Amino acid sequence: MTDIYQNKHATIEERVADLLSRMTIEEKIGQLTQLPASVEGNTEKLEEWHIGSYLHCTGDTAIRLQERAAKTRLGIPLIFGIDAIHGHCFDNDATVFPTQLAASSSWDRELIRDMAKVTAKEVRATGIHWTFSPVLCVGRDARWGRINETYGEDAWLIGEMAVEAIKGYQGERFSSPDSILACAKHYVAYGETVGGRDAYEADVSRRKLKALFLPPFKKAVQEAHVASLMAGYHANDGVPCTADKWLLTDVAKTDWGLDGFIVTDWENVTSLYTKQKVSASIEEACYRALVSGNDMMMSTVEFYETAVRLVKDGRVDEAVVNDAVIRILTKKFALGLFDDMRFYCPDRHEVLGIPAHRDLALQASLKSIVMLKNDGILPLTPSKDLRVLVTGPNADDVIAQLGDWSFGSMQAGATDDQFHRDKTVTTLQAFQAAAKHYGFQVEYVKGADCLDEEFEQVAELDRALENADVVIACVGDTLAQNGEFHDRANLDLTGKQQALLERIKAAGVPLIVNLVASKPMTIPWIAEHANALLCGFNSGTQGGEAIKRVVFGEYNPSGKLTISFPYHVGQLPVFYNKYEGWHAQHSQHTEFKERYIDMPEQPLFCFGEGLSFSQFEYRDIALKQRVIEPHSDIELSLTVTNQSDIDGTDIVQVYFNDHFSSVTTPIKTLCGFQRVAIAAKESVEVTMTVKFSDLALVNAELEEVVEAGAFSLMVGASSKDEDLHTLDFEVTQTTTVSS
């Protein structure tokens, strides 16, 4: 007779309970242990330590390990995690999408979901079932190396996008071939670390955690039922995330009802002892990690043996371990790993990088492009006598274009002609193909390098400039300048890039800048002197093709920034949802504004900003009710007209402000948006709903409350005051939304 846990007709609860009752303490702790398969010696530990999970498996490693796991006493399958962050990018056949920061500029919920669906299919087809994505960190300091991994600076928008991504990854049923577990990370406030220093201490109070950083995670748990959370590296207000019982157990599991599991980040448990020094020994660190609510420990090699001892010595109650094991096994059963899905691995050529997936990558790249300046030069007419000079370090650099998390541990040795090269269309390649198609001339001189101070092809450049009608300069940063361990103190263009741009300007040839970068850079010179500026950040394999389409008007750009561009690094952090009360320039002048004495207070480019070839006009903006009763959502309507003779898409944004409140609140907070496609000369009626609960603040008692009184709703094309129309309304009663 088959054991209950092996009977696929029994419920998951019955199967888990049966299996748990058969497990030794060693087997249980093994389920809580996750090791990187890429580090020598770790895969050998599979049987001895009853390992439950590996990360970073490439090639057929996952399948080979799974075969070994099937032969163990209880045959418990492994679960494999991977950083499929913007596609299953460690696999050279996979589809590489724009990074989160780039894709967020699309403000397109459906797109974010579809990208995740494709990623799930490709990941699952390689025998892996879990991605460490999406990143829900609030990206407010561009110096931080990992800013490219975020959905930008607004917590509400991050939550909206996270819900889509998680639903896309997880699908309807975990046991289907297009479903994987998602992991919302890094729980919580990781992006807020001081000075943009990765994994540094975050100086964040509980009130601020509740007001700003926890809400996207709460949405991920409650609206998208995310299967896992990853505890951040850092400490908030002195408490490392991995040692924070309040955060892990009380908030995520008890208050929100997380039914998935919590994995630590890399060596978090070891760090409690070796780096953060809140535990005086590895035993103490393991003890603290277990009792705080971490379920799976990533890459802490000491964990297995130490934890077994802690339970055997009676220091850790076995019930704590059981709870974690149940959470992990429940997901393994749900994924079908005990049944048919353990070795699921169809012919990879039927799934990875197939044309439909590549088409979606192109859509994603197109929708991610933000046009930040256009003096009328765009779109260009591709006439036969046009002479285009393509230049800049990122015109033909696959590694710079794709950005971080495309090469994994091979990052250091990755070369431009090796990885994803035949899947990727760089800007140069796209222009060369267009030149053939339309019959114009294209020349390429690299002209500068992101890293090399010496490199400059001055003579070739000058000669090419003499023969050019227009220049497409692809500048920005490269992989060595972003990602984990790559924080920057300076956000100017590096190498000879600025000199290259100035030389083009001096030659008097019209200049179109294509910013291929992982982050906002300090580019006031470009904003002032370029004729046009396009930004696609790290725009995926089809990024070059997308830029070409925008330049020639084959696609009308619609992207809008989800992150502010500072004028100067000294402005950081700078974001749209700031607070009033900065000590203004005190003077007798009537016009006294908050500002630095040596620089504007506003960023160079603001959150929500982005141009189109169309012009849109907003009118008849109306609220259905101006007096809002508790728990009634706010209904809003408006008409948007496309006044141009070209079809376009606008992203209508809605912000609110609470006039007077018991604690300080931001001057404006995003609470709604809608992508609206409008044909040339047509109008579209738009209706939108703002949720009552989204008006809540967190008061000094840490309650989420919508306070009675006057509010404004601001509707428009960006977060800039001049783009917004304001309507006032009133909330009748102070209402607790959640405690």
**HEC assignment per residue over 21-66:** HHCCHHHHHHHCEEEECCCCCCCCHHHHCCCCEEECCCCCHHHHHH
Cα separation, 324 vs 331, whole angstroms: 11
265 or 449: CB nearest ligand BGC: 265
Site string for ligand BGC, 170-209 (x = CB under 6 A): ---------------x------------------------
Contact 339, 519 (CB under 8 A): no
CA pair distance 298, 132, nearest whole angstrom:
12
**Residue with Cβ nearer ligand BGC (141 or 545):** 141
Nearer to ligand BGC, 43 or 374 (CB): 43
Q: CB-based contacts of 485: which residues, under 8 Å, 6+ apart?
A: 145, 198
Q: Which is nearer to ligand BGC, 83 or 449 (CB)?
A: 83
What is the smallest separation between the CB atom of 265 and ligand BGC, expressed in angstroms? 5
Q: How far is the CB of 332 from ligand BGC (least distance, A)?
A: 19
Three-class secondary structure assignment of 126-141: CCCCEECCCECCCCCC
Among positive and negative, which fits the CA dihedral 265, 418, 98, 456?
positive
CB-count exposure of residue 529 (10 Å: 0-12, 13-18, 19+) = middle
Q: How far is the CB of 554 from ligand BGC (least distance, A)?
A: 36
State yes or no: residue 704 binds ligand BGC (CB under 6 A): no
Contact between residue 51 and residue 74 where contact means Cβ atoms under 8 Å apart:
no
Burial 692-705 (b: 16+ CB within 10 A, else e): bebbbbbbeeeebb
Least distance between ligand BGC and beta carbon 583 (Å) = 37
Q: Which of 203, 284, 469, 484 binds ligand BGC (CB under 6 A)?
A: 484
Q: Please identify, using beta-carbon distances, which residue of 6 and 411 lies nearer to ligand BGC.
A: 411
Tell me how far apart the alpha carbons of residues 111 and 161 are, in angstroms, rounded to a whole number. Answer: 10
CB of 53 to ligand BGC, least distance (A): 12
Using CB under 6 A as the binding rule, the residues of this chain from 35 to 74 that contact ligand BGC are 55
Site string for ligand BGC, 130-159 (x = CB under 6 A): --x---------------------------
Options 266, 438, 455, 525; binder of ligand BGC; rule CB under 6 A? 266
- Smallest distance from ligand BGC to CB 83, Å: 5
Instruction: Give whichever of 145 and 573 is closer to ligand BGC, judged by the CB atom.
Output: 145
Nearer to ligand BGC, 139 or 336 (CB): 139
Q: Which residue has the tokens 């702790």?
A: 29
21 residue type, one letter: S
The distance of closest approach from Cβ of residue 310 to ligand BGC in the complex, given in angstroms and rounded to an integer, is 25
Q: Which is nearer to ligand BGC, 83 or 295 (CB)?
A: 83
- Candidates 141, 154, 244, 265; binder of ligand BGC (CB under 6 A) is 265
Report the residue from 27, 83, 244, 609 that binds ligand BGC according to the rule CB under 6 A.
83
Q: Annotate 178-219 with DSSP letters as a single string.
A: T--B-EEEEETTGGG-GGG-TT--B---HHHIIIIIHHHHHH
- Whichever of 200 and 266 has its CB closer to ligand BGC, that residue is 266
Min CB(537)–ligand BGC separation in Å: 18
Residue count, binding to ligand BGC (CB under 6 A): 7
Residue nearest to ligand BGC (CB): 132
Residue whose CB is less far from ligand BGC, 82 or 515: 82
CB-nearer residue toward ligand BGC: 265 or 397: 265
CB of 337 to ligand BGC, least distance (A): 21
Query: Of the candidates 613, 621, 609, 607, which has an alpha carbon nearest to the alpha carbon of residue 553?
Result: 613
Would you give the binding string for ligand BGC spanning residues 436-475, x where CB under 6 A is met?
A: ----------------------------------------
Instruction: Give the whole-angstrom CA distance, residue 116 versus residue 167.
Output: 8
Q: What is the dihedral of CA 443, 447, 449, 452, to 10 degrees?
A: 150
> Which are the contacts of 272, defined by CB distance < 8 A and separation ≥ 6?
240, 242, 243, 278, 279, 284, 285, 288, 289
Which stretches of the chain bind ligand BGC, using CB under 6 A? 55, 83, 132, 185, 265-266, 484
